[in-house]
Chains A and B, each alone.
Chain A
Amino acid sequence: MQKQNKTNSGTTDRKNPLKPSERMKIPRHLPIEQDADIRITNFGEVSEGFDNQLALEEAKRCLECKNPVCVAGCPVGINIPEFIKLIYEKDYQGALNKIRESNYLPAICGRVCPQENLCEIVCLLGKKREPVAIGKLERFVADYERAYGTFTPPPKAAPKNQKVAVVGSGPGGLTVAAELAKLGYQVTIFEALHEPGGVLIYGIPEFRLPKHIVKEEVDRVKALGVEVKTNVIIGRTITIDELFDELGYQAVYLGTGAGSPNFMNIPGENLSGVYSASELLTRVNLMKAYKFPEYDTPLKIGKRVAVIGGGDVAMDAVRTSKRIGPEHAILLYRRSREEMPARVEEVHHAEEEGIEFHFLTNPLKIHGDENGWVKAIECQKMRLGEPDEKGRRRPIPIENSNFIIDVDTVVVAIGQSPNPIIQQTTPGLETTRWGTIIVDEKGATSREGIFAGGDIARGGATVIQAVADGKLAARSIDEYLSQLREEKKQVPEESAI
């Protein structure tokens, strides 16, 4: 990556000289990637993204639409044509600053955001050709800033003497904290685990999102004056009411995610060798079990691993397992490829890495040996029926189609539910029957001063949705706290009368 000085000289540089028809002829550029047969032997990042040259060439492809539909496709409304234009002008830091106006976590979102279903799916270029690689461009400028250490914290408003507690340091919590710190509030993030980052640290694997990237993004939030307290479980170490009544916080944001693993409730799920995806990923990502015995936390992946599920977490789990070195890493999904909720890019990477996909396959029972270890998984063949309410075709069992796959490790990746600790310890906080916290269109919960967003309110969503919810909640919290300031101003006047 070459450092570029901002080029403001002359207007000829600034304008993309290519006609739209010429731009459309340039094929989409592919990122630099580790070869599949090499990357399955390490935990290094799969994609190295774009270098300067690729980024510049890709930026040329943007049609600079007058009515940019990509911006509407972005949950946080990043001014995409503008930042791409700045890349074209070689003002990489300017491009990143432009993104950061809308999203404080570009190094993370440039890597894990499902752009193919958001900004890129609506890109006009994609109607006839392939869309602009918006995600890879976002990542490029974030990596550029990282490589040259050019980050400077954005300006902050004058300090407001009001404290906000953010519970959970995942993408939502980090966003709320950054937005409110910029507005001058004193923000403290409370994190239950020993490292901040939430799902970005314990869930998403190193090969998709290196942990040093998360650490640096957290550091940029801290650079705004945000305090991060790890090892604090809100609801246990400190309750929400204590935050308000004893510790002087005036608003609380709940971004605790969906961290409680679901199981299938089939026989054999408690055999040794059966993991939840959360356990597998946390052992590897947070506890560094892949470096055992240098790190003390162990992990046992046998010769034949079956991962159950079809979402991003299932992909992360099966690809993580593969890197530990089994002979076979198998994915079992009860619908077909088309219904898989996982990102296309991840499915593609998984295939390249030799993951064996078994579609229309529904696990019924896990068989164990005499020592209580997994030895096989019994499945049933499925066929697709009518679409359900979400439009996904429903899987229907085919009778007498049971068959057995020999495996010694099973990973259950069928989804996560909200952790109930805060709901159980906060009187008056209303929840749904699924345990998610009920919020209104502003992110406000049933309790005054408490806001929530991301997976704890939605059940299961994406990193970028958590960021979007965080931005919305930050605006609502600012509104709420401004109102409190106004009321406080008025009180002495009233009492004077």
Chain B
Amino acid sequence: MFKILKKEALAPTLSKFVIEAPFIARKRKAGNFVIVRATETGERIPLTIVDSDNESGTITLIIQAIGKTTNIMVGMNEGEYFLDVVGPLGHPTPVDYYGTVVCVGGGVGTAEVYPIAKALKDSGNTVLGIIGARSKDLVILENEMSAVCDELIITTDDGSYGQKGFVTDALKDIMKKNKELQGIYAIGPIPMMRAVAETTRADKIKTYVSLNPIMMDGTGMCGACRVTVNGEMKFACVDGPEFDAHIVDFDELIARNKTYEDLEKSSLQNFIQESECQVQDAKTE
């Protein structure tokens, strides 16, 4: 049982949770993730560890309500418990002094790139940050990112905040101004990660993406998260989750991630209907 010590809503469907998990906190490094099973009937959900505090024995997770399980998780409150939290999983991001690097976060991916930006900054790198979101209310971790980035650009698809456009527009500007970029770290929706990979491919700038395939156990046991990298089969949970973006087969990843789309939708709809019925029942009582 893992206690929720703090919960904070960041955006309409996005909440930050501080969880008591001392053994994970003392081991966690940037790039690691955990698997959470919040309730008895819930799925095992992989989540990047956004931050950790060894002294208080806590880890920070940011959860977006997408399907049934994540909706239930985002609905949980301080004082409640996640049934199972296991980690830290995956290879941490190799962090060293490289020079100037760019950290790109798209949507909830900002939560995942933030710990990497922080670790790279702590190692003395010049960190240029880009946060992309559909609109202003979906921009998260702006303060945290600006605290660890030497420069931070925000883009929104609709122009409601920051620059209007995509993260790749901002990245192109940075690439024009900085000829010596030592690495790009891009985490977000797959189309965004692929667009970043295409943007940097010609200049051969090292570009890393953290992949989010369907995952179950997270320990290399099921093979659900297999991805093709440089023509080879890799398990994202134990071989990744970070890979060289220029050699990832994104088409395959997109196709595989659609495997359960219809079931997930129907399950969520059922859940929403049931929840609404319960609210109705409560009102009539």
Q: Decide: A372 and B252 in contact? CB cutoff 8 A.
A: yes
A275 CA to B222 CA, complexed, in Å: 9
Contact with A along B256-270 (1 / 0, CB 8 A): 101110011011001
Residue B219 interfacial (CB < 8 Å): yes
Name the residue of chain A whose CB is nearest to the CB of B39: A296
Question: Would you list which residues of chain A between 388 and 437 have a CB under 8 Å from chain B?
Answer: 419-421
In the complex, which residues of chain B have a beta carbon less than 8 angstroms from the beta carbon of A275?
224
Interface of B is mostly: mixed
Q: Decide: A278 and B221 in contact? CB cutoff 8 A.
A: yes
Name the residue of chain A whose CB is nearest to the CB of B249: A270
In the complex, which residues of chain A have a beta carbon less than 8 angstroms from the beta carbon of B251?
372
| Shortest Cβ gap from B261 to chain A (Å) | 10
- Residue of B27, B41, B238, B260 touching A237 (CB-CB under 8 A): B27
Q: What number of A residues sit within 8 Å (CB to CB) of B?
A: 42
How many interface residues does chain B have, given as a range? 35 or more
| Shortest Cβ gap from B260 to chain A (Å) | 4
Q: Decide: B222 and A279 in contact? CB cutoff 8 A.
A: yes
Question: Would you list which residues of chain A between 275 and 311 have a CB under 8 Å from chain B?
Answer: 275-276, 278-279, 282-283, 287-288, 292-298, 300
Contact with B along A248-287 (1 / 0, CB 8 A): 0000000000011101010001111101101100110001
| Shortest Cβ gap from A278 to chain B (Å) | 5
Residue B97 interfacial (CB < 8 Å): no
Q: Decide: B24 and A237 in contact? CB cutoff 8 A.
A: yes
Q: Decide: A282 and B228 in contact? CB cutoff 8 A.
A: no
Name the residue of chain A whose CB is nearest to the CB of B235: A260
A297 CA to B67 CA, complexed, in Å: 11
In the complex, which residues of chain B have a beta carbon less than 8 angstroms from the beta carbon of A296?
41-43, 67-69, 267
Contact with A along B221-243 (1 / 0, CB 8 A): 11110111000010100100000
Question: Would you list which residues of chain B between 1 and 47 have a CB under 8 Å from chain A?
Answer: 23-24, 27, 37, 41-44
Q: Decide: A298 and B86 in contact? CB cutoff 8 A.
A: no
In the complex, which residues of chain B have a beta carbon less than 8 angstroms from the beta carbon of A238?
23, 27
Residue B244 interfacial (CB < 8 Å): no
Q: Decide: A273 and B259 in contact? CB cutoff 8 A.
A: yes
Q: Decide: A279 and B224 in contact? CB cutoff 8 A.
A: yes
| Shortest Cβ gap from B46 to chain A (Å) | 13
Residue B220 interfacial (CB < 8 Å): yes
Q: Decide: A272 and B233 in contact? CB cutoff 8 A.
A: no
A419 CA to B222 CA, complexed, in Å: 11
Question: Would you list which residues of chain A between 47 and 87 have a CB under 8 Å from chain B?
Answer: none
In the complex, which residues of chain A have a beta carbon less than 8 angstroms from the beta carbon of B84?
194, 230-231
Q: Decide: A236 and B89 in contact? CB cutoff 8 A.
A: yes
Q: Decide: B87 and A259 in contact? CB cutoff 8 A.
A: no
In the complex, which residues of chain A have a beta carbon less than 8 angstroms from the beta carbon of B86?
192-194, 231-233, 237
Residue B85 interfacial (CB < 8 Å): yes
In the complex, which residues of chain B have a beta carbon less than 8 angstroms from the beta carbon of A288?
41
Residue B217 interfacial (CB < 8 Å): yes
- Residue of A271, A282, A293 touching B216 (CB-CB under 8 A): A282
Question: Would you list which residues of chain B between 80 and 121 have a CB under 8 Å from chain A?
Answer: 83-89
| Shortest Cβ gap from B54 to chain A (Å) | 14
| Shortest Cβ gap from A283 to chain B (Å) | 7
| Shortest Cβ gap from B99 to chain A (Å) | 30
Q: Decide: B221 and A260 in contact? CB cutoff 8 A.
A: yes
Q: Decide: B223 and A192 in contact? CB cutoff 8 A.
A: no
**Known interface pairs A233-B219, A270-B233; A300-B259 also in contact (CB < 8 Å):** yes
Residue A371 interfacial (CB < 8 Å): yes
Q: Decide: B37 and A293 in contact? CB cutoff 8 A.
A: no
Q: Decide: B252 and A263 in contact? CB cutoff 8 A.
A: no
| Shortest Cβ gap from B33 to chain A (Å) | 11
In the complex, which residues of chain A have a beta carbon less than 8 angstroms from the beta carbon of B255?
271-272, 371-372
Name the residue of chain A whose CB is nearest to the CB of B221: A259
- Residue of B87, B221, B227 touching A282 (CB-CB under 8 A): B221
Q: Decide: A298 and B260 in contact? CB cutoff 8 A.
A: yes
> B residues within 8 Å of A by Cβ?
23-24, 27, 37, 41-44, 67-69, 83-89, 216-217, 219-224, 226-228, 233, 235, 238, 251-252, 255-256, 258-260, 263-264, 266-267, 270
7 pairs from A and B in contact (CB 8 Å cutoff): A202-B221, A231-B85, A259-B220, A263-B223, A279-B223, A294-B41, A372-B258
